Amino acid sequence: MPTHPRLRPFVLAIGLVLLAAGCSNGASATTDAAAHPGALAKNCGAGKKFKIGFAQANNAEPYRQRVNADLLKAAKAYPEFDVTIADGQGDSNKQISDVSNFQTQQVDLLMISPFEAQPLTPAVTQVYKKGIPVIELDRQTADDQYTAFVGGDNEAIGKAAGDYVAKTVLPDGGDVAILQGLISTTPAIQRTIGFQDGVKSNPKIKVIAVQPADWLPDKAQTVFDTMLRAFPSIKAVYANNDLMANGAYLALKGQNKVGQVAIIGTDGLPDPAGGAQAVLNGQMTATFVYPTGAEDALKIAKQVLVDCATSVTRNTVVDTTLITKENAKAVIEKAGS
Amino acid sequence: MTTEPTASTHAVVESETAAGPAAQPEGPGAAGRSTGTARWPKLSMLVRFQSVLGLVLVLLGGIAFSPRHNGAILFLTADNLANIVRSVSETGIIAVGMTFVIIAGGIDLSVGAVLGLAGILVARLMVDGGWGTAAAIVAVLLAGLFFGLVQGAVSTTMRIQAFVVTLAGLQLARGLARIVADDKFINISYGHGPGLAPPSFAVLGNRVFGGVLPVSALVFLAVGVLASVLLNTTRFGRHVFAVGGNERAARLSGINVRGIKIATFAICGLTAAMSGILDAGQLNFANPNSGTGYELAAIAAVVIGGTSLFGGEGTVVGTLAGALLLGSLNNILQLNNVNANLQLVVTATIIVAAAALQNVASRRRAP
């Protein structure tokens, strides 16, 4: 699951600027070439071929498969880029090897979603210090030795979901439940905090139950089934991911209450088993996309490698998108094309 | 894994030193099975060192298919070779311990979880307990040894299959790791004072000899050499083969079967703890879920190394080569950008091929 604890201070500052500008990218700082030897490319320019290595944290997660697919799809727009993906298999040791191998292969640019921040930091720093630009996607390493970071903001996504419930789903108020992800993980914490913050805008809404379901649909089904029996007044449930939202749907179905409780999810993957399809099918009321940022990352790669940029946007926060029945079909079709 | 008739057990425990080695046929793999070896010298040699041969083939393949840069063979660069050894050092060290257990006829599924537990323990002792590097390392090594010892004792005394005992051990170690860690990751920062680990522990994540050879790789190779000497030149080593080859014969010839089995589990627990300490040292970080699935990677290295899961046959050198073979193969496939999923398919093929080769040789050797 996506994590970036270090991003939050930036985001709060940038967020407002972004909203005002109505655009998804914003510059927080530019890169200082002296302090950051790997920040920009030594061998750059148009008409050349470039090797880009992407060290993915774990191909087995549906969200990360979507990142890979988005990245390869977006890369088709850049014929000069040869993008290779290595699978960290959810193991920091494996991912360190992947990073070392990319260094051996002498890639022109490293992209990485570190499985765990601390363990990957030395390997990424080493690459960066050798003068290879590093773009971090979705998750960050533990220091500032990278060229640029691109990712979503969990707290902002939770807040958007909270606002949506407060203003659109339950304008007249009511009882709301939250299904949390695995309790020690950053996205679970930040999305929940954001949501609780978001629903505050409507004083008639009461968060009546918060329970972890560890990101898992079967667990969510059990937990929400119990919640519904304990609090029949629940009018909406917010799940930290779509899998748990699906579990909530199954619980509703079991009690013949489908349609009586609004289900709001998170992730919004456009795959057949993803949240967008569930919204289209009417199983979920809405979901909020946790963006992959693949396109933005490649844009930065082009600036660095092809345009020989002298500075790039250091932190890019990719906005979330609300998926409802109206736009779900369009979202799925766009991803598939 | 074999159960022992109770009547004979405690007689054996006492007579260990008296009659032991004299009654035993000499040499690894010899216990009562060596009759046909001479007729198939080539095949048995091939199997004995199948993984070494395989490793040589993979290395040659690596050189042949390596991407080149300005004439330099990237596969053969010192950095790359060191990276290969580093990448297999943790599973490799475990595989060495596992070799003892498997030769003695057992199996240990708990090693990955013990790795996680050891990493958490060493981090807690240093970060929260204020222990010094050496003290923390020794304590955790002893804890790993003890964990293996208990598993061995439970398995032999209560006559429960090692598979079941260590399956329970896996759950237990993982649970303990999460309890000790309080369900959190432990970041290891270095310095002096509360909340900081002694800077000397960071050595485990360093590289020596001009920053090329990772310390973890060095430890792996050292453990391999020590274990090889222990297995091939000592009476203990011969007893391990005897117990795995024919437990009944071993008992009748006065070997302390139970003691030998427990010792192999203790060795395996020790190596798992050692890997856990290295894991924490390399990553500056301890995660109670570290090492998930490592038991299977270790068993794969042992099997490719030509050790029989039926016990009684195997070499540490084979295991080392098996681990390095897997690492080199993944490396060369990755340097050539071969799809990660295909790498798993190739590994699967090699495991089956190695086991088949082993099996054919064993059958031909049987009287």
Compute the 3-state secondary structure of chain A and give helix, strand, coil in percent, each to the nearest 5: 40, 20, 40
Encode pLDDT of B102-119 as tens digits. 999 999 999 999 999 999
- Torsional sign, CA B66, B70, B71, B77: negative
B131 assigned to some structural domain: yes
Best A61, A83, A118 member to test B by mutation, with max B CBs in 10 Å, is: A118
pLDDT at A41 exceeding the cut of 90: no
CB of A94 less than 8 A from some CB of B: yes
DSSP string across B181-213: HTTS-EE--BSSSTT-B-GGGGGGG-EETTTTE
**pLDDT range class, residue B274, cuts 50, 70, 90:** very high
The half-sphere exposure of B158 on its side-chain side, counting CA atoms within 13 A, is: 11
Closest listed residue to residue A57, CA positions, set A125, A127, A123, A117 = A117
Residue-wise pLDDT tens digits, A81-140: 999 999 998 889 999 999 999 999 999 999 999 988 889 999 999 999 999 999 999 988
* CA dist A266 → A50, A130, A288 (Å): 35, 38, 5
Contact B187 A118 (CB under 8 A): yes
Q: How high is the mean pLDDT of chain A?
A: 87
Q: Do A92 and B283 count as a contact with CB atoms less than 8 A apart?
A: yes
Complex-level ipTM: 0.70
* B 31-60: CB under 8 A from A: none
CB contact under 8 A, B334 and A94: no
Q: What is the rounded average pLDDT of the residues B37-45?
A: 60
Which of A285-294, A325-334, B127-136, B184-193 is predicted with the least confidence, judged by mean pLDDT? Answer: B184-193
Residue scoring higher pLDDT (A30 or B111)? B111
Would residue B205 count as lying in a domain? yes
A100 inside 8 A of chain B by CB: yes
Lookup: tokens for A327: 């736009």
* Domain annotation covers residue B88: yes
Q: Which residues pair with B208 in a beta bridge?
A: B213
Asked whether A228 and A252 are in contact (CB, 8 A), the reply is yes
Asked whether the beta carbons of residue A106 and residue B69 sit closer than 8 angstroms, the reply is: yes
Q: What are the structural domains, with CATH classification, of chain A?
A: 25-152+292-318 (3.40.50.2300), 154-289 (3.40.50.2300)
A15 confidence band (pLDDT: 50, 70, 90) = very low
Nearest-5° angle of CA B36, CA B307, CA B255? 75
Q: Is B26 on the interface with A (CB under 8 A)?
A: no
CA distance, residue B67 to nearest chain A CA (Å): 8
* Mean pLDDT of the region A272-292: 93
Higher pLDDT: B158 or B187? It is: B158
3-state SS of chain B? CCCCCHHHHHHHHHCHHHHCHHHCCCCCCCCCCHHHHHHCHHHHHHHHCHHHHHHHHHHHHHHHHCCEECCEEHHHCHHHHHHHHHHHHHHHHHHHHHHHHHHCCCCCCCHHHHHHHHHHHHHHHHHCCCCCHHHHHHHHHHHHHHHHHHHHHHHHHCCCCHHHHHHHHHHHHHHHHHHHHCCCCEECCECCCCCCECHHHHHHHCEECCCCEEHHHHHHHHHHHHHHHHHHHCHHHHHHHHHHHCHHHHHHCCCCHHHHHHHHHHHHHHHHHHHHHHHHHHHCEECCCCCCCHHHHHHHHHHHCCCCCCCCCCCHHHHHHHHHHHHHHHHHHHHCCCCHHHHHHHHHHHHHHHHHHHHHHHHHHCC
Residue A185: the pLDDT is: 74
Pairing state of beta strands A286-289 and A322-323? Answer: antiparallel
pLDDT band at residue B281 using 50, 70 and 90 as cut-offs = very high
Q: Does B77 contact A at CB distance below 8 Å?
A: yes
pLDDT of B33 higher than 70: no
Distance CA B135, CA A225 (A): 50
Phi-psi region of A288 (alpha: psi -120 to 50; beta: other; left: phi over 0): beta
Q: Give me the number of domains chain B comprises.
A: 1
Domain residue limits at B74 = 6-365
Residue B1 falls within a domain, yes or no? no
Question: With an 8 Å Cβ cutoff, are A104 and B79 in contact?
Answer: yes
**Contact criterion met (CB < 8 Å) for B283 and A119:** yes
Whether B283 and A105 lie within 8 Å, measured CB to CB: no
* Domain presence at residue B15: yes
Angstroms from B27 CA to nearest CA on chain A: 37
How confident is the model over A137-178, as pLDDT tens digits? 998 898 889 999 999 899 999 999 999 999 999 999 999 999
DSSP output for B283-305: HTEE-TTTTTTHHHHHHHHHHHT
**pTM of the predicted structure, to 2 decimals:** 0.76
Q: Choose from A103, A104, A186 for mutation: most chain B CBs within 10 A.
A: A104
Mean pLDDT for A247-260 is 93
| Interface subset of A 192-231, CB within 8 angstroms of B | none
Per-residue pLDDT for A281 more than 90? yes
A104 at interface of B, judged by CB pairs closer than 8 A: yes
A-B Cβ pairs (cutoff 8 Å, strict): 70
In this predicted model, what pLDDT tens digit does every residue of B308-352 receive, in sequence order? 899 999 999 999 999 999 999 988 888 887 877 788 898 899 889
What are the tokens at B89?
Answer: 């050092």
Cβ pair A335, A115 in contact under 8 A:
no
Q: Are strands B68-69 and B186-187 parallel, antiparallel or unpaired?
A: unpaired
Within a domain: B324 = yes
Q: Does residue A97 sit at the B interface (CB-CB below 8 Å)? A: yes
Q: What is the pLDDT of residue A172?
A: 95
User: What pLDDT, in 10s, does the model give residues B63-76?
Assistant: 998 888 888 888 99
What is the residue whose two structure tokens read 């913050």?
A197
* Cβ distance of B282 and A59 shorter than 8 Å: no
Q: Is A87 on the interface with B (CB under 8 A)?
A: yes
Neighbours of B198 (CB within 10 A): 17
Q: Write the CATH number for B105.
A: 1.10.3470
Q: How confident is the model at residue B41 (pLDDT cuts 50, 70, 90)?
A: low
pLDDT higher than threshold 60 for residue B31: no
Q: Do residue B87 and residue A94 have CB atoms under 8 angstroms apart? A: yes
Return the percentage of chain B with pLDDT > 70, whole number. 86
Is a pLDDT exceeding 70 seen at residue A4? no
How many residues does this entry show for chain B?
367
* pLDDT of B38: 52
Note whether residue B284 is domain-resident: yes
Locate tokens 């579990």: which residue? A247
Q: Which residue of chain B has the CA closest to A54?
A: B337
Output the DSSP codes for A84-125.
EEEE-TT-HHHHHHHHHHHHHTT-SEEEE--SSHHHHHHHHH
Disruptive mutation site among B285, B329, B343 for chain A (greatest number of A CBs within 10 Å): B285
Spell out the residues 6+ positions from residue B142 whose beta carbon is closer than 8 angstroms to its own. none
Cα gap B201→B190, rounded to integer Å: 8
Q: Are A145 and A153 in contact (CB under 8 A)?
A: no
Give B351 to chain A, closest Cα distance, Å: 20
Q: Is B90 on the interface with A (CB under 8 A)?
A: yes
A101 vs B: CB within 8 A: yes
Q: Where residue A9 falls among pLDDT bands split at 50, 70, 90?
A: very low
pLDDT of residue A337: 59
Across chain A, how many H-helices and E-strands are there? 11, 12
Q: Which residue has the higher pLDDT, B248 or A35?
A: B248
| Residue B122 domain-assigned (yes or no) | yes
Interface probe with A: pick from B328, B331, B336, B337, most Cβ of A within 10 Å: B337
- Does residue B121 have a pLDDT over 60? yes
Q: Is residue A258 predicted with pLDDT exceeding 80?
A: yes
CB contact under 8 A, A118 and B284: yes
